[in-house]
Amino acid sequence: MDNGELTRILATLQAKYRTETVNVKIGSDLLRILQLADFEDYVGKLAQKEYLTLEDLPLWAKVWEASFVMASYWAHQPVVPGRRILEIGTGIGVLGVFMASKGHRVTLSDINEDALLFARANVLLNGCEGNADVQRIDWNDTFLGEPYHVIVGSEVVYDRATYPALVRFLDQALVPGGTIFLAKNTQLQAPGFFAELVTRFAYKEKIIPFEGHDEISGVALYAIRRRGETTCS
């Protein structure tokens, strides 16, 4: 672990936020995760602003239940040498860090610069920098990098305005025969996203129920491939 880099990141974040490092358990695995110490209070203060947009809300800072469901899926997937995985909307990086800790080669991406700092800190805290990169990606930009075999994302379809750019980006960033795995809570209805998605892709859905959960009743997992293609790995 690069303690110097971690110290610099912590200083930058703590100048703006109250942070804490907590233990997050996923199955039998334990991660050390840097997060906001007062997420609800922070959002509450933002809500007092006269004008508030979706971009003002630190949705990247919340660890979503869908991330845990997706992580549980990847806990049982074999590491494939040479397979490149991209996480979109990584937020503070729980899913990507977990996948990297299990040996998968993952690029954690987000558009928010503070999210990327939290994600990089969590990569360092968990000693998985050998398997994880952190990169800023804007879905509105033309993707010019090397495409990925797998793209994963949790709770990335909450903003209807992003749907055309997101589907276009997925098409550009995925290798022929690649697979996209997305997860969202079942309460979030996103018909516009799926209408946009099926212009280029086909998908399968699996519902994972959450019994006794106060906020959500389940998480929907989606496996997505281009129409007419079979998986490459």
d(Cα 133, Cα 123) in Å, to the nearest integer? 8
Residue 232 lies in a domain: no
Residue 231 lies in a domain: no
Residue 127 lies in a domain: yes
DSSP state of 17: S
Residue of 97, 135, 98, 119 whose CA lies nearest to 9: 119
Angle between helices 65-74 and 94-101 in degrees, nearest 10: 20
Cross-strand partners of 151? 86, 180
Query: What is the domain count for the chain?
Result: 1
pLDDT at 217: 81
Residue 29 lies in a domain: yes
pLDDT at 210: 74
User: Where in the sequence is the domain holding 26, given as residue range(s)?
Assistant: 3-226
CATH number reported for the structural domain that contains residue 219 in this entry: 3.40.50.150
Output the 3-class SS for 89-136.
CCCCCHHHHHHHHCCCCEEEEECCHHHHHHHHHHHHHCCCCCCEEEEE
Residues of the chain short of pLDDT 50, as ranges, are none
Measured in degrees and rounded to the nearest 5, phi and psi for residue 153 equal -165, 145
Residue 233 lies in a domain: no
Residue of 18, 151, 14 whose CA lies nearest to 89: 151
pLDDT at 138: 97
pTM, two decimals, is 0.91
